[in-house]
């Protein structure tokens, strides 16, 4: 379910929509938050008012299928023209099976264009891998904040950031530059890999300070731009612990 407009006005922390990786994270990130701003606490994802990841996945899949079909159409037309010429020549020579073979080729080409190599166009999509990596961290998030460090503890993994710092982290297909810091009342994490889509993460409180709002933006390469908003409520529940790892 997407966030209703009325609710969004009170919950969202970014007034303008993210239109690019540099749109909301442009400029230098600060090592210090504004006075009185803290994200610290134990939070649990509220699925009812957060974006539905499955709807986003379905939309991206449809976009990639259309793109594949459109790019394959000129190739199929050229192939069909050449094959028609061959059928005419072979028909004069009495090759009765040529037309049947061409029909099979066209059917296979249509299936390939609709689903892409391997069936699902998302199977080898770096964007989808990045999106699923974020979603798979689970529903719980504990934020610990000190002047020297921001810790995002998901129970199953832990991420640590130095405000205003830069580091090189592992990424699909190589490594990525990672910067993080404060921009206004939000903590921003920007990841720019050598290959594949970049990720912009924004963490902030809602206007009523009752929710943690996490806005994720994926962009780069040949993949469509994707935005995902996740809204967390305060919780007294304990996050499950399954061999925590650092990522």
pLDDT at 16 over 50: no
Dist. CA 31–CA 41, nearest whole Å: 20
pLDDT at 2 over 70: no
Average pLDDT over residues 118-137: 85
Contact indicator for 159, 199 with CB cutoff of 8 Å: no
**pLDDT band for position 80 (cuts 50, 70, 90):** low
Any idea what DSSP says for residue 38? -
pLDDT at 6 over 70: no
**pLDDT band for position 32 (cuts 50, 70, 90):** very high
Region 5-58+124-246: CATH code? 2.40.128.20
pLDDT at 97 over 60: no
Average pLDDT over residues 187-202: 94
Dist. CA 217–CA 198, nearest whole Å: 8
23 vs 175, which has greater pLDDT?
175
Mean pLDDT of the chain: 78
Nearest Cα neighbor of 148 from 132, 131, 164, 172 is 164
Q: 83: number of CA atoms within 13 Å, CB side?
A: 16
**pLDDT at 36 (0 to 100):** 94
pLDDT at 157 over 50: yes
**pLDDT at 12 (0 to 100):** 42
Centroid of chain to Cα 194 = 16
- Which range is least confidently modeled, 82-96, 174-188, 199-213? 82-96
**pLDDT at 49 (0 to 100):** 97
Contact indicator for 156, 242 with CB cutoff of 8 Å: yes
**pLDDT band for position 236 (cuts 50, 70, 90):** very high
121 vs 217, which has greater pLDDT?
217
pLDDT at 166 over 80: yes
pLDDT at 84 over 60: no
**pLDDT band for position 67 (cuts 50, 70, 90):** confident
pLDDT at 13 over 80: no
Any idea what DSSP says for residue 51? -
Domain ranges of the chain: 5-58+124-246, 69-115
**pLDDT at 188 (0 to 100):** 98
Dist. CA 224–CA 22, nearest whole Å: 16
Those residues with Cβ within 8 angstroms of residue 3's Cβ, 6 or more apart along the chain or in another chain? 11, 12, 49, 50, 51, 229, 231
């Amino acid at each position: 379910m997407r966030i209703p407009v009325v609710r969004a006005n009170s919950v969202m922390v970014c007034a303008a929509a993210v239109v690019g990786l540099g749109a909301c994270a442009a400029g230098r990130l600060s090592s210090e938050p504004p006075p009185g701003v803290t994200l610290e606490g134990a939070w649990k994802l509220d699925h009812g008012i957060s974006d539905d990841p499955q709807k986003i996945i379905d939309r991206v899949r449809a976009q990639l299928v259309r793109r594949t079909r459109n790019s394959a159409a000129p190739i199929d037309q050229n192939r069909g023209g050449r094959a028609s010429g061959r059928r005419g020549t072979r028909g004069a020579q009495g090759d009765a099976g040529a037309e049947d073979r061409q029909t099979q080729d066209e059917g296979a080409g249509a299936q390939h264009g609709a689903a892409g190599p391997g069936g699902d166009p998302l199977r080898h999509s770096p964007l989808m891998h990045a999106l699923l990596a974020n979603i798979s961290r689970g529903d719980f998030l504990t934020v610990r904040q000190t002047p020297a460090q921001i810790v995002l503890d998901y129970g199953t993994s832990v991420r640590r950031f130095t405000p205003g710092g830069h580091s090189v982290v592992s990424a699909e297909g190589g490594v990525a530059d990672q910067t993080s810091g404060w921009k206004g009342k939000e903590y921003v994490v920007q990841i720019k890999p050598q290959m594949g889509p970049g990720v912009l993460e924004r963490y902030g409180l809602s206007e009523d300070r009752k929710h943690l709002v996490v806005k994720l933006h994926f962009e780069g390469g040949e993949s469509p731009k994707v935005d995902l908003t996740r809204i967390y409520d305060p919780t007294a529940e304990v996050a499950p612990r399954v061999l925590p790892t650092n990522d």
